[in-house]
Amino acid sequence: MKPTDTLVDEHRLIEQVLNCLERMAERASRRAELDARRADDAIAFLKTFVHGWHIPREEAYLSQAMVSLSESRPEDLAFHDHRRCCAHLGEMELAAAAGRAGESGAAERFAEHAHAYIAVLMKHIEDEEVRLFPRIEDRQTEPSPAERAILPEPSLAQPMDRGQFALYTKAANRLADHYNVPRARGLAMPVGPAGRAKSAVS
């Protein structure tokens, strides 16, 4: 198993939620009305799984792995994409709150930033898997000790056990079933211990 396999696996679950978000945004634009409960579910997943778990460990991995490449630092661009996504996510959260308060135009603002978020993150995932990850793998056929310390069970501020991963998958699947989006298949469960999950997603 390559070190990047874990990140790629997480990309499939993230794409599943992004496909749901796209349908949500299309409906919000068409009807000028936002499904607040499902918008909150999608935002919670993106904030905790994507920005609270996946992105920090991905950045930690890239910072270590790119040391082996002597050319420019493409991970800097990847980190910039993460910041752009974070900004759009913040605007989505504000728009969702405005929608719950009955403010005019909130659904359209949510849709605008949701579409922008999706565009940035989908392109970002493609660039990593097609260009960046293969370059790293060409240089490093075996994970270094530093990489093993990060993947697949990194020591970060928000650890995840199998129970937590199951909760995120369940939340993503609820959205997928509602929006008739195919579920990601063949996701590997984390190697860490089973335990009581502590998550904003339930």
Which domains can be identified in the chain, with CATH numbers? 3-178 (1.20.120)
Q: How far apart are CA 157 and CA 41, in angstroms?
A: 22
Amino acid at 16: Q
Q: Which helix (H) or strand (E) holds 77?
A: helix 74-100
Residue 80's pLDDT band, with cuts at 50, 70 and 90, is: confident
pLDDT in tens, 106-144: 999 999 999 999 999 999 999 999 988 888 777 655 555
Between these two residues, 80 and 176, which has the higher pLDDT value? Answer: 176
The secondary structure of residue 138, as a DSSP letter, is H
Residue 57's pLDDT band, with cuts at 50, 70 and 90, is: confident
Q: How far apart are CA 43 and CA 83, in angstroms?
A: 16
Question: Could you tell me what percent of the chain has a pLDDT over 70?
Answer: 74
Mean pLDDT, residues 67-95 taken together: 79
Amino acid at 147: E
Among left, alpha and beta (phi > 0; psi -120 to 50; other), residue 32 is: left
Q: Contact at 8 Å (CB) between 57 and 151?
A: yes
Does 193 have pLDDT greater than 50?
no
